[in-house]
A and B are shown apart, each in its own frame.
Chain A
Amino acid sequence: AQKITQTQPGMFVQEKEAVTLDCTYDTSDQSYGLFWYKQPSSGEMIFLIYQGSYDEQNATEGRYSLNFQKARKSANLVISASQLGDSAMYFCAMREVYGNNRLAFGKGNQVVVIP
């Protein structure tokens, strides 16, 4: 069964600083995808970044990068140069390609960016 762990408590980060959100996962599948989503207070789920298990390079999308350490089964999200609009919940998710092929979510990390 898939399991995604996000254990950090709510985080405060200074504007323009970088923040790292931890995510570890557990799977026996060799082929899987890792996702990060942002959920502001409005409730919408905004896709940020994707990393495939066979991708050799860490994924990057603008200010977002994913620090993928396959042997440690971790997929940490790094947000560089934080902005006030980055204040939100951040969810890590995984989909096993040959497992149940369904996206499963961690419990989320709350980030508050302070000026």
Chain B
Amino acid sequence: SAVISQKPSRDICQRGTSLTIQCQVDSQVTMMFWYRQQPGQSLTLIATANQGSEATYESGFVIDKFPISRPNLTFSTLTVSNMSPEDSSIYLCSEGGGGTDTQYFGPGTRLTVL
């Protein structure tokens, strides 16, 4: 199974600022994903991070708000831009090949926006 790390593990930020979350996988993976989990809710897919091309965003999520980078097959970043208290969530990075592959998650980044 892949080992995934995220930085930071948690942060408290002021509204209007931006935070970049890093995700590192210990092996090369085809697909990396970013999820958001709002308080008391389930996980919602933000986007798929594609190596060498732009991320693929799910409905309701836009690149200007959540820019994503994927410079290689082991690393990705998610930026939460111009934050508001509604962005307070756990953000989780994930990897998986799709199809019948198992999908593993990083430990998450717990973000609080004041």
Contact = CB atoms under 8 A, between A and B. Distances in A.
Interface of A: 31, 33, 35, 37, 42-47, 50, 52, 91, 95, 97, 101-108
A31 B10 CA distance: 37
A71 to B, nearest CB: 20
Given A52-B100, A97-B100, A103-B103, 19 more contacts: A31-B100, A33-B99, A33-B100, A43-B110, A44-B106, A45-B108, A46-B105, A47-B102, A91-B42, A95-B98, A97-B98, A97-B99, A102-B45, A102-B58, A103-B45, A103-B94, A104-B45, A107-B41, A107-B42
Nearest to A55: B100
Contact of A44 (B33, B45, B48, B108): B108
The interface residues of chain B, by DSSP majority, are classed as: loop
Contacts of A33: 99-100
Contacts of A37: 105
A103 B96 contact: yes
A105 B103 contact: no
5 contacts: A35-B103, A43-B37, A45-B92, A102-B48, A103-B33
A103 B34 CA distance: 11
Contacts of B92: 45
Contacts of B96: 103
